[in-house]
Chains A and B, each alone.
Chain A
Amino acid sequence: AQKITQTQPGMFVQEKEAVTLDCTYDTSDPSYGLFWYKQPSSGEMIFLIYQGSYDQQNATEGRYSLNFQKARKSANLVISASQLGDSAMYFCAMREESGYSTLTFGKGTMLLVSP
């Protein structure tokens, strides 16, 4: 079974609008971490935001926030006030306590921001 599922191959949003990118995960570990990375066409993976399984509050980093629903095993990324530079691939990833040093990625969502 896939550990990380991103069901949206592509998303379109207009500049200045908010967009939500979906991510669900599967683990039996009580302790795990969830990450979102952005990959522009240049190829580099850029860290955006982190959510720990024991964190009580949803993580926020500037225009990025993570809608963490533990019971539903979902960790959706919300980008507010989209900018043209947000056009990129977005990957959700998970690190489990039992899988030391291994970060497992979902298949990604391509986001296109239009003027």
Chain B
Amino acid sequence: DAMVIQNPRYQVTQFGKPVTLSCSQTLNHNVMYWYQQKSSQAPKLLFHYYDKDFNNEADTPDNFQSRRPNTSFCFLDIRSPGLGDAAMYLCATSGKTGGVNEKLFFGSGTQLSVL
């Protein structure tokens, strides 16, 4: 089945140690998103790619970076994780129309712990 796959499901890192989260998709969607979701909160958009065009949200910390080497893969890099970065990270995709009816397809998320 076509889907959005996130690896790993759980990631533990040390304070200040760089970490990379991965997302792949078989939907051939143009747009890929990274959301951060802290406990009992709404998912918060960090950034998204429209094809190779990177769009950063204004309040996304510089500590967060992203790469999209091809249509299928997208990575979230946290350069120096702090305790406040512990959260669920959700990857999502959508088609290219950009219409208001374009729904997002989500992966299962990566739960990041920072020790």
Using a CB–CB distance below 8 Å, which chain A residues touch chain B? 4, 31-33, 35, 37, 42-47, 50, 52-53, 91, 95-97, 100-108
Q: Are A42 and B42 in contact, CB atoms less than 8 angstroms apart?
A: no
CB-defined interface of B38-51 with A at 8 Å, one 1/0 digit per residue?
Answer: 00111101001010
Q: Are B109 and A43 in contact, CB atoms less than 8 angstroms apart?
A: yes
15 A-B pairs with C-beta separation under 8 A = A35-B103, A37-B106, A44-B107, A45-B92, A47-B105, A53-B100, A97-B100, A100-B98, A101-B33, A101-B48, A101-B50, A101-B98, A104-B45, A107-B40, A107-B41
- Answer whether A101 and B100 are a contact pair too, CB < 8 Å, given A42-B108, A43-B109, A45-B106: no
User: Which residues from B are CB-within-8-Å of A96?
Assistant: 100
Interface residues of B in 22-77 (CB under 8 A from A): 31, 33, 40-43, 45, 48, 50, 55
- Is B90's beta carbon under 8 Å from chain A? yes
When C-beta atoms are compared, the residue in chain A nearest to B110 turns out to be: A43
Partner of B100, one of A45, A46, A52: A52
**Pair count A-B, CB < 8 A:** 62
User: Which residues from A are CB-within-8-Å of B41?
Assistant: 107
- Answer whether A101 and B88 are a contact pair too, CB < 8 Å, given A31-B100, A44-B107: no
Given contacts A47-B103, A47-B104, A95-B102, 11 further A-B contacts (CB under 8 A): A4-B42, A33-B102, A42-B108, A43-B90, A44-B106, A44-B107, A96-B100, A101-B33, A101-B50, A102-B45, A104-B45
Q: In angstroms, how far is the closest chain A Cβ from the Cβ of B84?
A: 19
User: Which residues from A are CB-within-8-Å of B105?
Assistant: 47
When C-beta atoms are compared, the residue in chain A nearest to B109 turns out to be: A43
User: Which residues from B are CB-within-8-Å of A4?
Assistant: 42
Bound together, the chains give a CA A107 to CA B100 distance in angstroms of 20
- Answer whether A44 and B101 are a contact pair too, CB < 8 Å, given A91-B43, A103-B45: no
User: Which residues from B are CB-within-8-Å of A42?
Assistant: 108
Q: Are B42 and A107 in contact, CB atoms less than 8 angstroms apart?
A: yes
Q: In angstroms, how far is the closest chain A Cβ from the Cβ of B26?
A: 16
Q: In angstroms, how far is the closest chain A Cβ from the Cβ of B71?
A: 16
